[in-house]
Amino acid sequence: MKVVVLGAGVIGVTHAYYLAKAGHEVTVIDRQAAAAMETSHANAGQISPGYSAPWAAPGIPVKAMKWLTQKHAPLKLHPQMDITMWKWMVQMLANCSEAAYAVNKERMMRLAEYSRDCFIDLRAELGIRYNDRQQGTLQMFRTEQQVAASKKDIEVLERCNVPYEVLDMDACIAKEPALARVRNKFVGGLRLPGDETGDCFEFTQKLATLTEGLGVKYLFNTDIKALQQRDGRISAVQTSQGAIEADAFVVAMGSYSPFLLADVGVKVPVYPVKGYSLTVPITNADAAPVSTVMDETYKVAITRFEDRIRVAGTAELSGYNLELREPRRETIAMVVSDVFPDGGDVSQAEFWTGLRPMTPDGTPIVGKTGIANLFINTGHGTLGWTMSCGSGKLLADIISQTKTDIDPTGLDVTRYPQ
């Protein structure tokens, strides 16, 4: 079957890999000159099934009110005259109940755990390397109050059979020796040994090259404009290079997916939640992290690549604006300098921003639509790389009409009113 994948971020490229492996003739279209040039470009570098949880959680509305008044808060709101944003926020608040959280968390864990297994298989099969490390992630607590609050997360980890380690400061330092320099700032940590780390951009680019070897064609520098319908099906996608016909179409355009889909009557409540990162050259490897260290106070993740430190965080609601705001840089620079003061040269860091394609319930949208040959793979929010392989393989199986390895119930767009 001829399948066109719209979008060459980590979601589109991993999906193209599984489609090509299943024997389909695949074309991937993107407006950028190469793969992973938008949100998949410089994320926090975590493959973290253990932390797959919706942001919409009990207690979040109260925390959010407090964060809005703090200088270095993890959440920033730039009120817009944008009805979509306000509707999305209302939907998100409606998902903060215990009951909704349990449903959403189960869906995300189902997909993320599966994705981790797909990742391991893909890596073994292709021998692909991407500054990857398999050394877990460590969430660091500055207060006993945070340690006490983590007990709720631990209950969830136990229910989902996710391995974890509760560590005192000596044990944290044994895993992350550079923390010895700042031991008085923290009281302990929670480690998820099954999590992995790496450079999502390098992963996606290398995978795109490997998929070309499987026959996948990439049409870069090509704007996707509209889907053309005929007899209740999608007949072609209209692009800046002309119309492209296929048997099936997959929308994987991240935060921009809703516009294209709305034109053919498919409503997806995906909204951009902006995040920022700094990529810092390492000046003293012994003073840098070994894997990912997350500072719970600021919700900032600090990840080790070979010769760089990636530090990322902030959830900003400000529409599709890609402005690099200096106060956000100050916050993440402050955190990396506080936790790993001698690790890198922050003055030489690259500053970046990306728009997380977020659903109000945290779960991505993966599956069929009401139009027989139109499929969606988007809305992966904070954990798109983590869930990429699982989403890609699941949807490839759905398109190929073969038995899926996991239950797809609750993952497609039918969970929202159409």
C-alpha 72/C-alpha 328 separation (Å) is 8
Q: Can you state the angle between helices 200-213 and 10-21, rounded to 10 degrees?
A: 30
Q: φ, ψ for residue 130 (rounded to 5)? A: -150, 50
Residues in the chain: 418
Q: Is 370 annotated as a binding residue?
A: no
Could you give the 3-state DSSP secondary structure of residue 277? Answer: strand
Q: Is 45 annotated as a binding residue?
A: no
C-alpha 293/C-alpha 298 separation (Å) is 12
Name the minimum Å distance from CB 47 to ligand FAD: 6
Name the minimum Å distance from CB 162 to ligand FAD: 16
Could you give the 3-state DSSP secondary structure of residue 154? Answer: helix
Contact 252, 384 (CB under 8 A): no
Give the pair of three-digit tokens for residue 103: 């449903």
Name the minimum Å distance from CB 46 to ligand FAD: 3
Name the minimum Å distance from CB 62 to ligand FAD: 24
Q: Is 17 annotated as a binding residue?
A: yes
**Among residues 4, 18, 114, 81, which one has the least CA distance to residue 395?**
18
147 or 212: CB nearest ligand FAD: 212
43 or 318: CB nearest ligand FAD: 43
Q: Is 12 annotated as a binding residue?
A: yes
Name the minimum Å distance from CB 369 to ligand FAD: 17
Q: Which residues contact 357 (CB under 8 A, 6 or more apart)?
A: 39, 254, 255, 257, 270, 271, 272, 378, 379, 380, 381, 384
C-alpha 103/C-alpha 5 separation (Å) is 29
Name the minimum Å distance from CB 67 to ligand FAD: 17
Q: Is 369 annotated as a binding residue?
A: no
Contact 216, 141 (CB under 8 A): no
Name the minimum Å distance from CB 183 to ligand FAD: 26
> Which positions touch ligand FAD (CB under 6 A)?
7-12, 30-32, 37-40, 43-46, 223-224, 252-254, 256, 275-277, 312, 354, 356-357, 378, 380-386
176 or 199: CB nearest ligand FAD: 199
30 or 296: CB nearest ligand FAD: 30
String of DSSP letters for 55-87: S--TTHHHHHHHHTT-TT-SEEE---S-HHHHH
173 or 335: CB nearest ligand FAD: 335
Give the pair of three-digit tokens for residue 148: 């006490």
C-alpha 141/C-alpha 159 separation (Å) is 22
| Residue 410 burial (CB count, 10 A) | 16
**Among residues 371, 370, 379, 373, which one has the least CA distance to residue 411?**
379
Greatest alpha-carbon span in the chain: 67
Number of H helices, E strands in the chain: 10, 20
Q: Is 367 annotated as a binding residue?
A: no
Give the pair of three-digit tokens for residue 10: 């980590």
101 or 352: CB nearest ligand FAD: 352
Could you give the 3-state DSSP secondary structure of residue 275? Answer: strand
Q: Is 7 annotated as a binding residue?
A: yes
Q: Is 13 annotated as a binding residue?
A: yes
Q: Residue 59: what residue type?
A: G
Q: Is 394 annotated as a binding residue?
A: no
Q: Is 314 annotated as a binding residue?
A: no
363 or 386: CB nearest ligand FAD: 386
44 or 396: CB nearest ligand FAD: 44
173 or 305: CB nearest ligand FAD: 305
Name the minimum Å distance from CB 59 to ligand FAD: 22
Q: Is 14 annotated as a binding residue?
A: yes
Name the minimum Å distance from CB 172 to ligand FAD: 20
Q: Is 68 annotated as a binding residue?
A: no
The binding site for FAD consists of 3-17
The binding site consists of 3-17
